[in-house]
Structure 1
Amino acid sequence: MTEWIALSRTRHTDSHFLPRQGYAFAADRQVTPILLAELGKLLPHYPLGFVQQGDQFQPVALLGLSGPNRYLHPDGRWMADYVPAGLRGYPFTLANAEDNQQVLCIDHDHIQEEPNDSVSEALFDDEGSLSQRVQQTLDFLQQCESNRQLTIRACQTLGELGLIEPWPLQIGRGEDQTPLQVQGLFRINEKALNALEPTAFADLRKHGALALAYAQLFSLNQLHQLIEREKFHARQQPAQSPNGNLDSLFGEDDDLSFDFGD
């Protein structure tokens, strides 16, 4: 389990960190939270849905059905042209402190008290400010957090209007196997969406919820991608070398830009 440590100018002035190398940290994730701002980038690659947290819903991209993350190659590379924003800030994250202020945290396993190889980087510069790389990550995480608040409000609107329903997802596995049943997912009730009164429909558009609703519905076309990925991983053996035909699956969207437009 990840142990998050709040960065401190006094405690970590001379400390270094190991930048993320690939996405092995996300190997066990079957879903990952998404943002309104990245819907257009997600749609070509991921089926989208919702999960329930308490009395709230959260939009997610589906990464696996019967097992762990199927968008991850064994060597840690991401097998899609676009990596969800929520994964790109690692090994850093924003967390709420006791005074409800957000603080920048780092995975404890990525801290080095002294540099011992050419890979590690400084957390702070000579003047005691965040290093350029860390400041860039903080800016990215703050922009993501701002959009996350908009995403939460959009989900609240969908929930209040009764447009989110349980998703009894079943995946066929051949004639001699029972279908795979995926539990805990929710989807948009398309019939209820189409039956909305004009004022309620306008309220959806106002809060960005309409785009989220349609994105989830349109993304169902990508379920076949995830199913094919399940089959691919099932065929792989640990001793096999990577298939050269996989090169087209690996994306280069590995930066910390918040420009999710075309």
Structure 2
Amino acid sequence: MASAPKASLPVFYKELIPLNSNDHGDWNARTVDKAPWVAGQHAVPLTVEEFPSAQRNFPIVFSAGDRSVPLALMGLNEGVNVFFDEDGAPRDDTPPYIPAYIRRYPFLLAKLDQNSDNLSLCFDPSSDLVGKFDEGHPLFTGDKEPSEHVKGLLQFCEKFEEAGNRTQLFMKELEDHDLLMDGEIAINRADNPEQPFIYRGFRMVNQDKLRELRGDQLRKWNENGLLPLIFAHLFSLDLMRNIFARQVEIGKGPQGMTAGANAAPAETAKKKK
């Protein structure tokens, strides 16, 4: 249901090349009202700074497996996104909060030399968002200096990296205190209440272990802002039922797909116990 991004290239990115004035001095960056790279993407990485905003629209879970990362669920099944259609246009008149990971594409900061800590601004050339277009924002000035648009992109990507580092520290705290457990949620359909659908394949905070933490640890987390992040995650889990209902509404509910490990009728799950 919620697997970690592939190690080779991050989610969305097919290629990466460094932005430079010699090769891209006369290139522009397009502004679009659709995000086709999001279509069919059911889970998007999230930073801890985004929890307060994201938890209003999405269930916030953690990827399964080692080195879990926070994810905003836009659907409960692979290939299903209830907020964006097949062209990447918002399905609603009022779009949801757009995670920074989506807004960053096709740019990101990456190491060109693994022996150095320096990061360079790179982009995905397959995106069709950067190129020799007549329209768009220039990437460089006539003197081959970074344009104001590129400076803004660089600043955004730098802040994203900083937020990513803080997110790693947050995840380390959860792991060090053994607070993450395998998640499971059962959702009943009104037309078949006796056979709920079971969703697995993600991790969540174990509330029993959270209640067992020492008072001084909870006070520390409350002071440094970590405790509110945990509660934002826990409160957001109720939205899974909203996502399920939206899948049914757009014709991608259980009746429209093959039940598998990620969406199996309860009676099937019982046989596995």
The TM-score normalised by the length of structure 2 is 0.76
Question: Structure 1 residues 18, 129: CA separation in 2 closer, same or farther (over 3 Å shift)?
Answer: same
The CA deviation string for residues 143-184 of structure 1, in whole angstroms up to 9 with x for no partner, is: 121111111101110111011100023334552996444342
Whether the 8 Å contact between 1:123 and 1:134 is mirrored in structure 2 is yes
The CA deviation string for residues 38-68 of structure 1, in whole angstroms up to 9 with x for no partner, is: 22211211111101463x2211111111242
Whether the 8 Å contact between 1:36 and 1:208 is mirrored in structure 2 is no
Q: Which amino acid aligns with 1:95?
A: A
Q: Which has the higher contact order (CA 8 A, sep 6+)?
A: 1
CA distance in 2, matches of 1:130, 1:24: 27
Q: Which amino acid aligns with 1:51?
A: S
Query: Does residue 139 of the first structure (1) align with residue 155 of the second (2)?
Result: yes
- Structure 2 gaps of 5+ residues are 1-12, 254-273
Superposed, 1:44-63 pairs within 5 Å as 44-52=56-64, 54=66, 56-63=67-74
Deviates more, 1:215-224 or 1:187-196: 215-224
**Of residues 181, 187, 190 in structure 2, which corresponds to 1:165?**
181
Question: Structure 1 residues 207, 2: CA separation in 2 closer, same or farther (over 3 Å shift)?
Answer: farther
Superposed, 1:121-132 pairs within 5 Å as 121-132=137-148
Question: Structure 1 residues 182, 114: CA separation in 2 closer, same or farther (over 3 Å shift)?
Answer: same
The TM-score normalised by the length of structure 1 is 0.79
2:101 aligns with 86
**Of residues 34, 38, 43 in structure 2, which corresponds to 1:22?**
34
Whether the 8 Å contact between 2:109 and 2:121 is mirrored in structure 1 is yes
The CA deviation string for residues 84-136 of structure 1, in whole angstroms up to 9 with x for no partner, is: 11111222122232223211111112366533x43x43221112222222221
Question: Structure 1 residues 12, 203: CA separation in 2 closer, same or farther (over 3 Å shift)?
Answer: same
The Cα of 1:141 is off from its aligned counterpart by 1.6
Question: Structure 1 residues 42, 114: CA separation in 2 closer, same or farther (over 3 Å shift)?
Answer: closer
2:85 aligns with 73
Whether the 8 Å contact between 2:187 and 2:241 is mirrored in structure 1 is no
| Runs of 4+ displaced beyond 6 Å | none
Q: How many residues are paired up?
A: 233
1:210 aligns with 227
- Structure 1 gaps of 5+ residues are 237-262
2:262 aligns with none
CA distance in 1, matches of 2:239, 2:206: 18
